[in-house]
């Protein structure tokens, strides 16, 4: 059994959050494609994802894959090739007010963090797509607003691939969609981070006209990376 397979078995058997008193449905949800140049990190699986063990399986997946489709990845190809996971791996149940799913607590995030760090280390992706506020805050400051980061990217230099858990933004370059094409002509051997909002229908943020423009800029960045950079990276 290789290291990633062993990690997956460990995640599926994990009961840390249950043992700590959280009412999660155990049984980690993630998907590991064959190419794994891209890692997509969401918040936590929803109930249907937990049932069929497929990330972004339901309504939020339709919107997410619409965005990724506009960026150049069809759903089947992305699922078959790339790595999809979440900040916490098990279904956290419904929120107390019944609207949407419960946001995993900081304790659950901490309990699951070693798994995420091992995934990043073992997959060592060239592009990380952070989906939703919880995932975005893995890299960006807690004070960062969606309005500040959606439609932008950060690039970590190649050294980041030998230190995969370095997310010190002071060592990264911030980029906009208009800067990406010329930037890719000179530097593409490191790691790109691109944030997206949560695609859940429970979130109204993506529907506001000004935010649609931000999402369009994020999709434009991903389109450049999917067409130019990631193909080159895939050949290395």
- Contact footprint for ligand SF4 (CB under 6 A): 11, 14-17, 24, 26, 28, 88-90, 108, 111-112, 115
Q: Cα dist. 92→40, 45, 50, 188 in Å?
A: 19, 8, 10, 37
Q: Closest distance between ligand SF4 and the C-beta of residue 153, in Å? A: 28
Q: Which is nearer to ligand SF4, 24 or 230 (CB)?
A: 24
Q: Closest distance between ligand SF4 and the C-beta of residue 17, in Å? A: 3
- Residue 172 φ/ψ region, left for φ over 0, alpha for ψ in the -120 to 50 degree band, beta for the rest: beta
Q: What whole-number distance in Å separates Cα of residue 142 and Cα of residue 187?
A: 28
Q: Which is nearer to ligand SF4, 111 or 130 (CB)?
A: 111
Find all residues with CB under 8 Å of 104, minimum gap 6, and list them: 43, 44, 87, 88, 92, 112, 134
Q: Which is nearer to ligand SF4, 14 or 128 (CB)?
A: 14
Q: Closest distance between ligand SF4 and the C-beta of residue 79, in Å? A: 21
Q: Closest distance between ligand SF4 and the C-beta of residue 20, in Å? A: 8
Q: What whole-number distance in Å separates Cα of residue 124 and Cα of residue 209?
A: 35
Q: Which is nearer to ligand SF4, 123 or 146 (CB)?
A: 123
């Amino acid at each position: 059994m290789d290291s990633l397979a062993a990690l997956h078995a460990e995640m599926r058997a994990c009961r840390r959050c249950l043992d700590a008193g959280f009412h999660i449905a155990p049984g980690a949800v993630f998907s590991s494609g064959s190419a794994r140049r891209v890692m997509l990190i969401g918040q936590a699986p929803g109930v249907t994802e937990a049932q069929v063990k497929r990330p972004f399986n339901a309504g939020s997946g339709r919107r997410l894959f619409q965005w990724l489709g506009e960026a150049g990845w069809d759903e089947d190809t992305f699922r078959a090739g790339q790595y999809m996971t979440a900040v916490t791996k098990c279904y956290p149940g419904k929120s107390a007010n019944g609207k949407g799913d419960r946001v995993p607590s900081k304790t659950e995030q901490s309990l699951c963090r070693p798994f995420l760090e091992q995934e990043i280390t073992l997959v060592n992706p060239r592009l990380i797509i952070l989906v939703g506020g919880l995932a975005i805050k893995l890299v960006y400051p807690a004070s960062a607003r969606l309005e500040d980061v959606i439609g932008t990217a950060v690039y970590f230099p190649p050294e980041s691939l030998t230190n995969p858990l370095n997310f010190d933004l002071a060592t990264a370059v911030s980029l906009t969609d208009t800067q990406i094409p010329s930037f890719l002509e000179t530097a593409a051997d490191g790691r790109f981070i691109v944030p997206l909002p949560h695609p859940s229908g429970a979130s109204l943020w993506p529907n506001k006209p000004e935010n649609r423009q931000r999402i369009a800029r994020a999709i434009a960045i991903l389109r450049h990376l999917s067409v130019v950079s990631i193909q080159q990276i895939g050949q290395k």
